[in-house]
Structure 1
Amino acid sequence: MSGDPLFARVATALANRYVVERELGHGGMATVYLARDVALGRAVAIKVLPPTTREYLGGERFTRETQIAAQLSHPHIVPLFEAGEAEGILFYVMGYVEGESLQDRLAREGALPLEESVRLIAEVADALAYAHEHGVIHRDIKPANVLLAGGHALVADFGIAKPFGEAAGGGGGESLTGTGVAVGTAEYMSPEQATGDKHLDARSDVYALAALLYEMLTSEPPFTGPTVQAVIARILTEAPRPIRTIRPAVPPHVEAAVLQGLAKVAADRPPSARAFVDLLTRPTAERPVRPGRRRAWIVLGTLAAVAVPVAAAVLYFAGRHARPVGMLLVPAGDYLVGGTAGRDTGRVHLNAFYIDSTEVTAGAYAPFVRSGGAPSPYQRQRATDWPVTGVLWAEAQQFCAWRLPGGRLPTEDEWEAAARGSGGRRYPWGDTWAPSRANVAGATDTLAPVGSFPLGASWVHAVDLIGNAWEWTATPAGSGRHVIKGGAFNTQQPNATVANRVPASDDRRQLWNTGFRCARGPQ
């Protein structure tokens, strides 16, 4: 470790009290070292925060907030002994647990036995219930923060605590967890946490507890994806796959309890960690849900967290709004766009929106024509599952508005965000060309039914963004033209990128290889 500059800094800064021995692990938000407490002769784990966190929090505030977590004393909570700042380094000292994390166990064994899973979850729930009774929520429950020792579970990373009222303007400055930033680990975040809602309570931890048990029983979290934003999009809009379709031996009441814990709306979940365990262990119990009084909660779990830009508004629609059929949610965030002639590469911030998962088909367009809409000159020549083409720009706009409230064509930036994600990939599936993933020149030499190339799906699972048919956007290109994107079945591969753009005349019926897909904002 002598070559590690951070190790040397930590060892020197804490030499009066601790002998730092070796690194236990590190991530983007912290590094953990094994050390020996010289005064008490015990092994401890020292977690060191990166300089960016120090700049954000400040040493005095960090110490004040960790003092709250240090007051928690429970047999299933890893104790927090000390926190402070030394020579510009923010650190806190925890008990050292000889064992392994639940993350390591799952990686090694996959799904765990049912009885053991429920028992371990009950221990985690007991720790959380104790914290909740003391006005504290963890907000980063995940396999890495559950340690296993002697056959029992201990919850770690009760690290930074913040009186929640400060975020509302109580003089505490900006909050690490204020509205507009989701803090936590994406796969285990509740919908309200994923959207940056600052009014969280115990039910957010209940969601994470259910997600944890789901993974223990199936070996996978309820929602996964190639990026944080893709995971959040699925959390906000999709139902988790029923556990018994993956592991049929799981009792129906256990599956029902987990799925209730994963409810999109907090009010639909068990109201407490103990109530969640009751559902797991007492299938016939019927307990009335009593609304509790509102209280000030303390938010924890910011140390090992990732910060994800999201919309300030709640963008999930369960209970109050339905996700438009056939559409996918693209979360609010910053997206890389451009990178072709006439359009420099740059980042844009977009509000959340929905976009069709496929190009509009001839079959979907037909009812619009029957209601008085303009027909496509190629309508009779197209199978119902082929994209409708030859539609003028204004007619495409009219169809989208006719089909659903607020319906419209996507802007070029929105189209690219749905195709590229925040990383600005060259193709919807990544940065390397794969001929089997798109209907471009040399693939079929004609239009194909939408969705014929599922391996070419984008990060939000939209298909045919490259190839098949060009697609109208709402972005003007001057002189009665609008930008079309994506290429068509006769586009040569070098031009088949998500950045490529072509100005097309709004009133040319000859665009026989140009179709469209619709978009809309959250209603």
Structure 2
Amino acid sequence: MRHLNTGENLQNGLYTINSILGAGGFGITYLATENPSNEQIAIKTLNATVQGKDNFLDLQNKFIKEAFLLAKCSHPHIVTVHNVFEKDGFWYMVMEYIKGDDLAVYLQKNGVFNEANSLPIIQQIGEALSYINSQGFLHRDVKPNNILLSINTVKLIDFGIAREFTAGETRTHTNYRKEGYSPPEQYEERAKRGIYTDVYALAATLYNLLTDEVPIPAQFRSYATLPPPQQFNNKISDRVNNAILKGMELKPESRP
């Protein structure tokens, strides 16, 4: 298994590993320095657990696809990929380093957002989603953990399950979902998908930011009513309350 050590050089000394930034279920991200510019960057690869799986090569192929998909994106609210390279059979993605917390961590540290500081974030991420939609892709994993908040901007990250789509066409997709943020169509292997799939998750993200509550998972909503966000935070305006509920309509055609 491959693990990067502090001080290790990659790409003939172009990058030097400084420390581990974070690790998730599939990936591990390192803080590194680009030489000779001395610029801080992030380098992501698959973690040791994934490297030990029997289907590692399949998972790595998905990682490579994510890397090259992101590398094609050019948008102020999508994390920028500078380079993709292979070393000793393992692939790495070099990204801009964003100093800050994801929205889930920020919420945990600071409590609920208000409309004044949450709506600009949602608008900017909405613009990023519109952009990737125009490129023929869906993100499919919008949630507070995948939005980084820095001093002057927000960035959408983690395109690991992004998929191509054709509007109005029914196709087979991996039925990945994140409870509370995924719409009903993501629970089905074959279903039509469109920008409305990411709209649901974006509305659910705003629900969480304003209430510190994760919405009821979509598969339970046929017999459990989604509480309006105003029930948890009476400072939410009627306009925003209704917009969230509209974005989380169970029928895709009913969403904005």
Give the TM-score category using the shorter length.
Answer: 0.7 to 0.9
Q: Find the aligned partners of 2:193 and 2:90 in 1 and give their Cα distance.
A: 30
- 2:98 aligned partner: 97
Aligned to 1:55: 57
- Give, as a single letter, the amino acid of the residue that structure 2 aligns with 1:72: C
Q: Within 5 Å, which residues of 2 pair with 1:484-495?
A: none
Alpha-carbon contact 1:188-1:211 (below 8 Å) kept: yes
1:83-126 Cα deviation digits (max 9, x unpaired): 24322223212110112211111111221112111111111111
Query: 2:192 matched to which residue of 1?
Result: 199
* Unmatched runs of 5 consecutive residues or more in structure 2: none
Q: Which residue of 2 aligns with 1:219?
A: 212
Give the secondary-structure state (helix, strand or coil) at the position aligned to 2:192: coil
3-state SS of 1:23 partner: strand
**Structure 1 unaligned residues grouped into runs of 5+:** 169-176, 224-230, 271-523
The answer to whether structure 1 residue 209 and structure 2 residue 211 are counterparts is no
The 1-side partners of 2:7 and 2:185 are apart by 37
The alpha-carbon distance between structure 1 residues 249 and 199, as it changes in their structure 2 partners (threshold 3 A), is same
Partner of 2:89: 88
For residue 403 of structure 1, what is the aligned residue in structure 2?
none
Partner of 1:238: 224
CA pair 63-25 structure 1, distance change in 2 beyond 3 A = closer
State the match for 2:243 in structure 1: 257
Question: What's the TM-score once normalised by structure 2's chain length?
Answer: 0.84
Change (3 A) 1:254 1:72: same
Q: Name the structure 1 match of 2:120.
A: 119
Q: 1:185 to 1:10 in 2, by over 3 A?
A: farther
Cα distance in 2 for residues equivalent to 1:106 and 1:251: 20
Q: Is the 8 A contact 2:27 2:45 kept in 1?
A: yes
Structure with larger Rg? 1
The one-letter code matched in structure 2 to 1:217 is L
1:18 maps to 2:15: yes
C-alpha separation in 2, matches of 1:56 and 1:263: 35
Question: Is the aligned partner of 1:186 residue 2:187?
Answer: no
Write the deviation string for residues 213-271 of structure 1: whole angstroms up to 9, x where unpaired.
00011011212xxxxxxx4642565331111121122111211110011111111111x
Question: Match for 1:37: what amino acid?
Answer: E
SS at match of 1:92: strand
Aligned to 1:28: 25
1:336-378 CA distances to partner (integer Å, 9 max, x unpaired)?
Answer: xxxxxxxxxxxxxxxxxxxxxxxxxxxxxxxxxxxxxxxxxxx
1:132 counterpart residue number: 133
Q: How far did residue 162 of structure 1 move?
A: 4.8
Shift of 1:14: 5.0
Greater mean deviation of Cα atoms: 10-19 or 209-218 = 10-19
- 1:143 maps to 144
SS in 1 for 2:158: coil
Distance in 2 (alpha carbons) for counterparts of 1:248 and 1:122:
22
Contact kept, 8 Å, 1:204 with 1:266, in 2: the verdict is yes
Helix, strand or coil: the match of 1:139? Answer: coil
Aligned-CA RMSD value: 2.9
Q: How does 1:327-406 map to 2 (within 5 A)?
A: none
Alignment partner of 2:68: what SS? Answer: helix
Q: What one-letter code is carried by the residue in structure 2 that aligns with 1:183? A: Y
> Helix, strand or coil: the match of 1:66?
helix
* Between structures 1 and 2, the one with greater helix share: 2
* Deviation readout 1:406-455 (Å, 9 max, x if unpaired): xxxxxxxxxxxxxxxxxxxxxxxxxxxxxxxxxxxxxxxxxxxxxxxxxx
Matches of 1:160 and 1:36, distance apart in 2 = 28
In the TM superposition, what is the alpha-carbon distance from 1:34 to its structure 2 partner?
0.6
Supply the distance in 1 between the matched residues of 2:222 and 2:43 (Cα, whole angstroms).
36
Whole-Å Cα distance in 1 between the matches of residues 193 and 14 of structure 2? 37
Compute the TM-score of the two structures, normalised by the length of structure 1. 0.43
> Could you say which residue in structure 2 is the equivalent of 1:493?
none
Residue in 1 that maps onto 2:35: 38
Give the conservation status (yes or no) of the 8 Å contact 2:129–2:139: yes
SS at match of 1:248: coil
SS at match of 1:222: coil
Residue 6 of structure 1 is matched in structure 2 by 3
The verdict on how the C-alpha distance between 1:97 and 1:62 changes in structure 2, with shifts beyond 3 A counting, is closer
Aligned to 1:106: 107
Name the amino acid aligned to 1:94.
Answer: M
Q: Percent identity between the aligned chains?
A: 30
Q: 1:99 to 1:5 in 2, by over 3 A?
A: same
Distance 1:249 1:160, change over 3 A: closer
Give the Cα–Cα distance (whole angstroms) in 1 for the partners of residues 230 and 145 of structure 2.
Answer: 25
SS of 2:176's equivalent?
strand
SS of residue paired to 2:117: helix
Contact 1:191 1:264 (8 Å CA) reproduced: yes
Tell which has more relative contact order, 1 or 2 (C-alpha 8 A, sep 6+).
2
